[in-house]
């Protein structure tokens, strides 16, 4: 009942009282759409879907179940837009494509820009890819195939091929006359810059359309190029492309081949999408979740999460082997078993803090050869200070709880040791993994927790065995 009430009032107060809900799909709208599907009212469905952006339609398809999804797509039929496919999460894209009739699919794909087709087909198996490519016109098919010849996740896959360029001797007047005399088909759908090129087609500068508009006709284009100009090699990884756009506030940047010749253009909206995906990947990898998404099925998700759990099982068993060395001590002082998880857990948390900071700093290029030792020293000192603080707290807890000052000293000392080690391992391990070419977001967690578990149990139980027995 509470939910129904919320929904009814939602339209009126969405902005003021629930600002977090902006841009979220309206539950009432979703229900109305599903109802239209239930009663197979195609006209109503099309009317309800009309105001939705393809990105919102894709979100809608991701959020409903597979049965509703296929019924909706069949009823929506020819209205199905190619952009919906581009926006769909990969986990259900194949399923959606399988539901579309060949005619609808062909039309949908033909409406897409070539860089969107590349994004669509790059993860498909060969036969499916062939089917999509066959649907394209010759020029587009060639463009897509050429883009696919660049490595996955490279600038070459990300770029659009349509670029507005001008020779370096042109003036503002030349550029305006050229643009206004070009037919609509010769110019890209969206463009914000003119790329100035030398006779060998090497880009030498970017001129914004705004500057062209507000400058006198006799001004040479070279006099009004943007102060910040970055040329992107086609083989550059897309993560670096996203970094460059964010670092230098680029709106578009020319892409060049091995010889430095202009072959395409990347715009900031594509770079923003890459930045978003990279972050998503980092967060998921830090948590050991793998490539998963919310629309994956149970079995796929189970498989995706298994490797990390298996690694964690091995590291836990390693920690247990350490505990097993001190069975005699534990049998004599059961308090050790009660307290030992605290030392390991505090080390694990401190280590995760350090490693998260290090992994992010590596990704944002803020942790470099110039400052790595200063960062390590800082993390070790932070571990030491927090270790000392929580050592005092735990020493008192140990003393009060079990009435043994010696137990208090032991847990305090183990806490300091483990948190210093956590700060060191949490920084050094991601740095080393990065140097040897392993993604630190993916692998650091397992190593760091192993270190803090082993050191935590060993320091606490070892000290206890030495001091208390």
Nearest alpha-carbon partner for 258 in 228, 229, 231: 231
**CB nearer its own copies, residue 26 or residue 129:** 26
The yes or no reply on residue 370 touching its own copies (CB under 8 A) is: yes
Which string of x and - marks every residue 312-351 that binds its own copies (by CB under 8 A)? Answer: xx-xxx-xx--xx--x--xx--xxxxxxxxx-xxx--xx-
The yes or no reply on residue 451 touching its own copies (CB under 8 A) is: no
Segment near its own copies (CB under 8 A); pick from 120-128, 134-142, 197-205, 291-299: 291-299
The yes or no reply on residue 2 touching its own copies (CB under 8 A) is: no
Interactions with its own copies, residue window 28-57 (CB under 8 A): 30, 53, 55-56
Distance between CA 36 and CA 28 in Å, rounded? 12
In sequence order, the β-bridge partners of residue 195 are 165, 206
CB of residue 62 to its own copies, shortest distance in Å = 7
Q: Which two tokens stand for residue 238?
A: 């897309």
The yes or no reply on residue 3 touching its own copies (CB under 8 A) is: yes
Sign of CA dihedral 263, 268, 272, 278: positive
Q: Which two tokens stand for residue 163?
A: 């670029």
Q: How many residues does the chain have?
A: 469
CB of residue 132 to its own copies, shortest distance in Å = 22
Distance between CA 91 and CA 307 in Å, rounded? 19
Distance between CA 195 and CA 221 in Å, rounded? 10
CB of residue 126 to its own copies, shortest distance in Å = 28
The yes or no reply on residue 153 touching its own copies (CB under 8 A) is: no
Interactions with its own copies, residue window 81-120 (CB under 8 A): none
**CB nearer its own copies, residue 115 or residue 133:** 115
CB of residue 128 to its own copies, shortest distance in Å = 25
**CB nearer its own copies, residue 135 or residue 395:** 395
CB of residue 59 to its own copies, shortest distance in Å = 7
CB of residue 335 to its own copies, shortest distance in Å = 8
Which string of x and - marks every residue 373-402 that binds its own copies (by CB under 8 A)? Answer: -xx--x--xx--xx--xx--xx--x-----
232-233 and 203-208: which strand pairing? unpaired
Distance between CA 58 and CA 173 in Å, rounded? 44
Q: Which two tokens stand for residue 52?
A: 């939705």
252-256 and 262-267: which strand pairing? antiparallel
In sequence order, the β-bridge partners of residue 462 are none
CB of residue 272 to its own copies, shortest distance in Å = 5
Using CB under 8 A, which of 45, 48, 49, 59 touches its own copies? 59
Using CB under 8 A, which of 67, 249, 259, 436 touches its own copies? 249
Using CB under 8 A, which of 1, 11, 19, 51 touches its own copies? 19
CB of residue 353 to its own copies, shortest distance in Å = 5
Interactions with its own copies, residue window 197-226 (CB under 8 A): 208-210, 213-214
Q: Which two tokens stand for residue 433?
A: 């993994």
Distance between CA 99 and CA 70 in Å, rounded? 6
Q: How far is the CA of 381 from the CAs of 152, 348, 354, 365, in angstroms?
A: 42, 17, 11, 23
Stated as kind and residue range, the H or E segment containing 235 is none
Segment near its own copies (CB under 8 A); pick from 61-69, 103-111, 117-125, 136-144: 61-69
CB of residue 22 to its own copies, shortest distance in Å = 5
Q: Any idea what the Cα angle at residue 417 is, between residues 414 and 422, rounded to 5°?
A: 120
Using CB under 8 A, which of 36, 48, 133, 244 touches its own copies? 244
Distance between CA 454 and CA 255 in Å, rounded? 49
Sequence-distant (6+) residues with CB within 8 A of 65 are none
Query: For the chain, what is the radius of gyration of the CA atoms?
Result: 29
Stated as kind and residue range, the H or E segment containing 408 is helix 405-435
Using CB under 8 A, which of 46, 179, 222, 468 touches its own copies? 179
Using CB under 8 A, which of 269, 291, 432, 469 touches its own copies? 269
CB of residue 309 to its own copies, shortest distance in Å = 6
Segment near its own copies (CB under 8 A); pick from 72-80, 100-108, 136-144, 181-189: 181-189
**Cβ–Cβ < 8 Å for 192, 224:** no
């Amino acid at each position: 009942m509470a939910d129904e009430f919320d929904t009814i009032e939602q339209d009126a107060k969405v902005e003021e009282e629930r600002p977090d809900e902006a841009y979220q799909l309206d539950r009432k709208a979703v229900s109305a759409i599903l109802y239209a599907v239930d009663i197979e009212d195609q006209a109503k469905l099309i009317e309800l879907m009309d105001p939705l952006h393809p990105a919102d339609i894709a979100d809608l398809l991701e959020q409903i179940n597979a049965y509703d999804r296929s019924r909706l797509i069949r009823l929506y039929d020819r209205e199905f837009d190619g952009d919906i496919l581009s926006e769909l999460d990969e986990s259900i894209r194949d399923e959606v494509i399988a539901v579309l009739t060949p005619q609808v699919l062909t039309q949908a794909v033909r409406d897409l820009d070539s860089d969107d087709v590349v994004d669509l087909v790059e993860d498909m198996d060969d036969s499916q890819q062939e089917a999509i490519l066959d649907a394209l016109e010759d020029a587009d098919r060639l463009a897509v195939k050429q883009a696919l010849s660049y490595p996955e996740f490279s600038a070459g896959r990300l770029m659009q091929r349509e670029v507005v360029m001008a020779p370096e001797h042109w003036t503002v007047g030349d550029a305006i006359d050229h643009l206004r005399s070009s037919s609509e088909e010769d110019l890209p759908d969206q463009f914000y810059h003119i790329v100035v090129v030398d006779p060998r087609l090497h880009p030498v500068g970017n001129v914004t359309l705004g500057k062209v508009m507000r400058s006198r006709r006799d001004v040479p284009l070279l006099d009004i190029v943007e102060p910040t100009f970055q040329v992107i090699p086609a083989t550059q990884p897309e993560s670096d492309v996203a970094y460059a756009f964010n670092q230098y506030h680029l709106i578009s940047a020319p892409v060049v081949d091995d010889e430095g010749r202009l072959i395409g253009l990347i715009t900031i909206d594509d770079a923003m999408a890459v930045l978003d995906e990279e972050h998503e990947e980092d967060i998921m990898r830090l948590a050991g979740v793998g490539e998963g998404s919310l629309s994956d099925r149970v079995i796929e998700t189970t498989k995706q999460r298994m490797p990390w759990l298996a690694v964690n099982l091995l590291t836990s068993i390693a920690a247990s082997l350490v505990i097993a060395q001190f069975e005699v001590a534990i049998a004599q002082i059961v308090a050790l078993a009660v307290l030992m998880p605290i030392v390991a857990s505090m080390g694990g948390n401190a280590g995760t803090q350090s490693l998260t900071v290090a992994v992010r700093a590596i990704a944002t290029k803020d942790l470099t050869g110039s400052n790595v030792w200063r960062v390590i020293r800082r993390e070790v000192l932070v571990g030491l200070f927090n270790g000392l603080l929580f050592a005092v707290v735990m020493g008192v807890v140990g003393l009060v709880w079990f009435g043994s000052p010696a137990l208090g000293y032991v847990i305090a000392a183990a806490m300091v040791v483990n948190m210093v080690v956590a700060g060191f391992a949490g920084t050094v391990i991601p740095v080393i993994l990065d140097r040897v070419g392993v993604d630190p977001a993916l692998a650091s967690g397992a190593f760091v927790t192993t270190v803090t578990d082993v050191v935590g149990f060993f320091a606490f139980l070892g000290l206890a065995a030495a001091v208390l027995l």
